[in-house]
Structure 1
């Protein structure tokens, strides 16, 4: 009898163990935290009472992901050329290789911008209406080599879109780099400019996926390169000049994104861009920035833009920690509420609430998750590399980048912002579908997407000061996960 009882007990233990395994969800968890994890794989989880439940529903899908990445700027490219070949390669691989952040969506500037070493144009000769002297020579030493190296490092490739900050002064009503408007008599010349740009970059082996029509058409306080458009002026330019010109030259497949400034002004722009079928057909989507507030996501504005044109792109094309000099080799600073943005000092009193002191990592994580949960399909950071001053920048408009370098000492610092970006870009791949998430703990910020290979990436941000636990539930299976205080996790689930 004792022998039979022993085997019966053993049988029950085995059956319970098998049943538990059958109902346990298999996951890989990667964490970046204030405590020091940097995309570190976490494997040991402690049982916890009252754990939250995050339930995934891949049967309900939302937008299709275009990608995540950063911008190729002359400043970043110049700095890479100042480093040793070893450190240059390390940075390129970190951003673009499959083992690194695996960036899939990138931006660059047409003509100069504030993060250029000087002001220049590809159309330097005045009254050259046919752009016979068009040249990208200013991009040849730094910018184009950086893009080419990134292309070599990327296994899957990446999309690149270009944005002009301004036309050459001779095309504008104020004849200046800053402010002013494009003269109507040069609308056709400016449309030709985009076509010439595609040709020139193709000649270098670089395919341009698309454009934003104008970086920050409201202007930037008359500080650096800019050119102003009203919603009607931009829509008229695209409908009657840029769209038809690209179509005529065989570039009708190039993506055109309108607006390209802060979310708060979305409504008036999308109403005008999609005012008619003839205008809408040339706009492939809307580009947005986060500078109206790096704390508030403006979900109502994002929802409105999506509902206005559900089939179009909605891409965040620029965001960074601005008005700050980078803190060198001090991870803790990036997790503390010490950083400000431009609005902390300069915004009118009634709108200062949109610009609180807020930790840089928290800004990025909160914004990307909020965007993904409100129909945004791509999120592009600003400069990939800056120096310890937050430049170089001809206007001395200092900012922070995920990778900071000291070219004099040939040193590289991967800030926590680099790992924050990688939590999304590395694991949520192009063509993934954002899926429904039901989360019982509103203090945890959560988004999820299913990749084309069936895998599901769940990104969870705990910006609180206490550790938390949650169960991930999918299709009747679940698993318990602990997340540290001030921590970002990506939970990968293989469904095949």
Structure 2
């Protein structure tokens, strides 16, 4: 499967607009079969249905990046494939001709998308972590990260997240649920520092951390460890922050919270309760599982306004509670997928979890986030198998790339191309810019890259094509977006 795009500039203009045309490249992914395809055949536009005006003088957040997560499950699957297919996937995600992922996540200790449960601190009572080891990461996880680093010309940031401390550090002595015992707060802070050291010895630099994946827990299903907002803030202010600072790692990013958006207010109020706590939090991490379609703009706005100079990063999202549909692009555009809330949400929250097309979910959420101060967006597993695993808990999910290791086959789903519409063309340190959009049925966002180019992403969820007039500094271009399509329009500097 060919995953690379080779581009030539095209000049698009309507019949009545030859005097001052806007030079652009247009790439489209659609239910009709386009896959990040460059659109070069433009017909004259008779009637404009949507007017989009770019306002580069209005600037908002600075982009930290887009990407996905290195999990043991993904890394294990890559090692089951032929070298040719393994290389194809890594290049598709990280090469300059691929999606150019720039912000990534990995797990500390095991998580649900591990083959088994394990900890880097296996010896009970080892308060000084003299037996700390990342041996469990050496066969699959670290080789995947290092191979991705070799492929990426631009490089990418990695942040790490723990799902739980080892059971012996917790009040319930279990992998699932429970809280970190106060007597091990310093040990757990040391754990983060040891992790940086161990990974650095393997040639992998860690950019930062989230303090705890899903501190509310996950329904007592797989690895978890609970924190209240005050408990996490106290841990960061009095233990983790000072420890990293003392060990020479004060430049490492610390992101608080790391769960669903509806709970943002109470968390950011506590995290940024005063100057002493705010000093150590570099930003807030969020997940998307609160709703299939709602990106909670009010909560995102509140979090930004509480700490306008801090990161606000979506650190995990996937089509969960579904088994991937193999080599059927159409499924990803149909409203047939559900999430956990379809079955398990309380009655008063059921409306937040309707059936919703996977592509719609990704495109809607990323654009909604970018238009409400989120500066980074990170997908969950990069690669899963045809069952939606491997996963020791059998908590099946969908990834942008699905593989059948027994047959050495690879399927790039429409979700891969949807992610690439953002990660490939909106680069780190880009600035989100203002947009005037006359059609509220189209979702639109735009960013100006460090090289001066502008990337505009337009999503048409509906089953009717639209004609668009796009303007920048009195230059104009008119074109069409297909039904059920996402487009990235690149305006060179």
Query: Which TM-score bucket, shorter chain as reference?
Result: over 0.9
Q: Are 1:32 and 2:49 an aligned pair?
A: no
Partner residue of 1:234?
A: 232
Which deviations, in whole Å up to 9, do the C-alpha atoms of 1:389-415 show, x marking residues without a partner? 000000000000000000000000000
Q: Secondary structure at the match of 1:339?
A: coil
Q: Match for residue 10 of structure 2?
A: none
| Alignment partner, residue 11 of structure 1 | none
What secondary structure is seen at the aligned counterpart in 1 of 2:355? coil
Contact 1:385 / 1:405 at 8 angstroms: preserved in 2? yes
Residues 493 and 182 of structure 1: CA distance in aligned 2, closer, same or farther (over 3 Å): same
The CA distance in 2 between the partners of 1:87 and 1:22, in whole Å, is 48
Cα deviation for residue 18 of structure 1 reads 12
Select which of 243, 250, 269 maps to 1:245: 243
Deviations 1:25-78, CA, capped at 9 Å, x for gaps:
000000000000000000122213133110000000000000000000000000
Aligned partner of 1:304 in structure 2 is 302
Q: Which residue of 2 aligns with 1:397?
A: 395
Q: Does 1:489 align with 2:487?
A: yes
Query: Are 1:294 and 1:367, in contact at CA under 8 Å, matched by a contact in 2?
Result: no
Corresponding residue for 2:318?
A: 320
Q: 1: CA distance between counterparts of 2:249 and 2:486? A: 41
Deviation at 1:182, TM superposition (A): 0.1
Q: Displacement, 1:17?
A: 11
Alpha-carbon separation, structure 2, partners of 1:448 and 1:48: 25
**Which residue matches 1:479?**
477
Cα deviation per residue 1:204-229 (whole Å; 9 max; x = unaligned)? 00000000000000000000000000
- Distance, in Å, in 1 between the alignment partners of 2:243 and 2:230 is 19
- Give the match's secondary structure for 2:303: helix
Partners of 2:53 and 2:34 lie apart in 1 by 26
- 1:22 Cα deviation from its structure 2 partner: 4.2
> 1:175 deviation in Å?
0.1
Mapped contact 1:212–1:259 kept (Cα < 8 A): yes
In the alignment, the residues of structure 2 paired with residue 427 and residue 48 of structure 1 have an alpha-carbon distance, to the nearest angstrom, of 29
User: Is 1:335 aligned to 2:333, yes or no?
Assistant: yes
Q: How does 1:47-66 map to 2 (within 5 A)?
A: 47-66=45-64
Q: Provide the C-alpha distance between the structure 1 equivalents of 2:184 and 2:15, rounded to a whole number of angstroms.
A: 73
Which residue in the other structure is 1:7 paired with? none
Q: TM-score, normalised by structure 2?
A: 0.96
Aligned-partner Cα distance in 2 for 1:22–1:196: 62
Q: What does 1:148-227 correspond to in 2, within 5 Å?
A: 148-227=146-225
- Mean CA deviation greater in 242-251 or 40-49: 40-49
Report if the CA contact (8 A) 2:48-2:469 is conserved. no
Larger radius of gyration: 1
The TM-score normalised by the length of structure 1 is 0.96
Report the Cα offset of residue 359 of structure 1. 0.2
1:468-490 per-position Cα deviation (integer Å, ceiling 9, x unaligned): 01011000001001000000000
Partner of 1:3: none
RMSD: 1.2
In structure 2, the partner of 1:346 is 344
Per-residue deviation, 1:294: 2.4
CA–CA separation in structure 2 for the residues paired with 1:164 and 1:18: 58
Give the aligned partner of residue 142 of structure 1. Answer: 140
1:368 counterpart (366, 369, 374): 366
CA contact (8 A) 1:338 1:358 kept: yes
Greater mean alpha carbon deviation, residues 49-58 or residues 476-485: 49-58
Residue in 1 aligned with 2:95? 97
Unaligned runs of 5+ in 2: 1-12
CA apart distance, 1:350: 1.4
Tell me how far apart the structure 2 counterparts of residues 435 and 370 of structure 1 sit (CA, whole Å). Answer: 14
Which of 277, 291, 303 is the matching residue for 2:289?
A: 291
- Secondary structure of 2:68 counterpart: strand
**SS of equivalent residue, structure 1 residue 29:** strand
Structure 1 unaligned regions, length at least 5: 1-15
8 Å CA contact 1:468–1:484 kept in 2: the answer is yes
Match of residue 4 from structure 1: none
Q: Distance in 2 between matches of 1:186 and 1:293?
A: 35
1:421-460 equivalence runs, <5 A:
421-460=419-458
Number of residue pairs matched? 480
Deviations 1:309-334 (A, max 9, x none): 00000000000000000000000000
Query: Is the alpha carbon distance of 1:404 and 1:17 closer, same or farther for their aligned partners in structure 2, counting shifts above 3 Å?
Result: closer
Q: CA deviation at 1:230?
A: 0.2
1:45–1:480 contact (8 Å) kept in structure 2: no
2:353 to 352, 355, 375: 355
d(CA) in 2 for partners of 1:227, 1:122: 16
Maintained 8 Å contact 1:302/1:374: yes
CA distance in 1, matches of 2:250, 2:487: 40
Compared with structure 1, are the counterparts of its residues 364 and 17 closer, same or farther at alpha carbon in structure 2 (3 Å cutoff)?
closer
Q: What SS class does the counterpart of residue 164 from structure 2 fall into?
A: coil
For the 8 Å contact 2:17–2:476, the answer to whether it is kept is no
